[in-house]
Chain A
Amino acid sequence: DIQMTQSPSSLSASIGDRVTITCQASQDISTYLNWYQHKPGTAPKVLIYDASNLETGVPSRFSGSGSGTDFTFTISSLQPEDIATYYCQQFYNLITFGQGTRLDLK
């Protein structure tokens, strides 16, 4: 099984801050990684697919990078509506999610 480790598990930031979340895979997964945003009471939403591709309709302040085992998700300028939990998801071998990063306002 491929394990996905996200860090940090929680994060506090201010509006306008640059926010970075990392995700590490237990083995090389090439770029087979997606990122999701999940707000309480709603369904998760895909933001980034194949490590660095922005999903249609997603604001350009969201971005992703990385390949192999190390990946980064960035919000360039935090907005109030970005408060949520963020998950990485590998699809190199079946599907595994990271444990999530809870983002809240400082």
Chain B
Amino acid sequence: QVHLQESGPGLVRPSQTLSLTCTVSGGSINRGSYYWSWIRQPAGKGLEWIGHMYPSGSTNYNPSLKSRATISGDTSKNQFSLNLSSVTAADTAVYYCAREHEVFFKLDFWGHGILVSVSS
């Protein structure tokens, strides 16, 4: 059974960079067949896909984030990370990491989510 756990600061100042880490157990992020993804949900709103990375290092991002997002992996720790730059209050959300199947792009294992608030 794959388990994912988000970690990082719960409060980020406006204009700073939001940095989160997802620790994966029960499966290697270096194994093919899966992407490793970040998704967020602002309070009272729906799910928004942020982006994903593949073991090869290739990445894709939601164009609406205007190049503010960067996803990278650390295979030695079996972790992957999200950096979101120049944050504003609109980036306040619950952030989830998830495993994404490469064939049907179904997000089949998720972390519990971490609330990140952007406020001065």
Chain A 30-59 against B: per-residue CB contact (8 Å), 1 yes, 0 no?
A: 001010101000111110011001010000
A13: Cβ under 8 A from any B Cβ: no
* Complex contacts, A36 vs chain B, CB 8 Å: 47, 107
Q: How large is the interface on B (under 10, 10 to 19, 20 to 34, 35 or more residues)?
A: 20 to 34
Do the beta carbons of A87 and B49 come within 8 Å of each other?
no
How many A-B residue pairs have C-beta atoms within 8 angstroms? Tell me: 59
Q: Which of B46, B60, B64, B104 contacts A50 (CB 8 A)?
A: B104
Selected interface stretch from B15-23, B73-81, B108-116: B108-116
Q: How far is the CA of A32 from the CA of B106 in the complex (A)?
A: 10
Task: Give the dominant DSSP class at A's interface.
Answer: loop
Q: How far is the CA of A87 from the CA of B47 in the complex (A)?
A: 8
Number of interface residues of A (CB under 8 A): 24
Q: Contacts A1-B63, A94-B60 given: A44-B107 contact, CB under 8 Å? A: yes
Do the beta carbons of B62 and A94 come within 8 Å of each other?
yes
Do the beta carbons of A49 and B47 come within 8 Å of each other?
no
Q: How far is the CA of A58 from the CA of B113 in the complex (A)?
A: 22
* Complex contacts, B107 vs chain A, CB 8 Å: 34, 36, 44, 46, 89
B109 → chain A closest CB, angstroms: 8
Q: How far is the CA of A95 from the CA of B63 in the complex (A)?
A: 11
Which of the listed residues B46, B60, B63 has the most CB atoms from chain A within 10 Å of its own CB? B46
Binding site for A on B (CB under 8 A): 37, 46-49, 52, 60, 62-64, 96, 98, 100-101, 104-108, 110-113
